Structure 1
Amino acid sequence: MRRILSVLVLGLAIFTFAFSSPALAGDAASGAKVFSANCAACHAGGKNLVQADKNLGKPALEKYGMYSAEAIITQVTKGKNAMPAFAGRLTATQIEDVAAYVLSEADKDWK
């Protein structure tokens, strides 16, 4: 009986983790609106008007260790170098949405 219960609990745990959505799954459509209003001045079309080599294209994001929602969320929240921090200006949900949008567009080469 104890073994059956253990197998059931393990099966439930595997099922839960296998079919649950990622914790940082933002809404790319909402992120597009937030990006347009807050980020496009420097990053229109995935470019970077301040430092051209650090653009939002997939190759550059991968090169600089930024090709993940977590990395983008940290960068947008805290800022770094010429990039201002958006904590306090944008909500956590808006920042997650922007990260989802940036990754989505990077995967499409911003087309």
Structure 2
Amino acid sequence: MRIFLLILLSVIALFKLTSIQPALAAETSNGANIFNNNCAACHIGGGNILISQKTLKKEALSKYLENYNTDSIQAIIYQVQNGKNAMPAFKSKLSAQEILEVAGYVFQKAEQGW
């Protein structure tokens, strides 16, 4: 668990940088692929086809995800792992690394305004 937290903190630090490093771009690409294969059907372009106000835009994430403002990546990871309401849980479908990568991708896209 400590290794996972160390990796998580490293990813958070990388995403807070103003320029994207080549390694980070590769991780983002993996996150984008995971998102496109698992999430885009309901969340295309950061939207939400089921509940229009619960998008993946920064304002909606900070309103609907617990602890988003204080621990954004962890809040997204929790949501992806456990689901909620109409959103299914992905903890048995995606690996911990894949969940981390897709959470990083969602966070980055939310910060950029999708």
Q: TM-score, normalised by structure 1?
A: 0.75
Aligned residue identity for 2:33: K
CA distance in 2 between partners of 1:54 and 1:43 (Å): 10
Aligned pairs (5 A) from 1:1-111: 23-24=7-8, 25=11, 27-65=27-65, 67=68, 68-110=72-114
SS at structure 1 position matched to 2:7: coil
Aligned residue identity for 1:63: K
Alpha-carbon RMSD across the aligned residues, in angstroms, is 1.8
1:16-71 Cα shifts (integer Å, max 9, x gaps): xxxxxx63128322100000000000000000111111100011111123531111
Q: TM-score, normalised by structure 2?
A: 0.73
Q: Which runs of 5+ in 2 are unaligned?
A: 1-5, 13-26
Q: Which runs of 5+ in 1 are unaligned?
A: 1-21
Larger Rg: 1
The higher-RCO structure (CA 8 Å, 6+ apart) is 1
**How many residues get paired?**
90
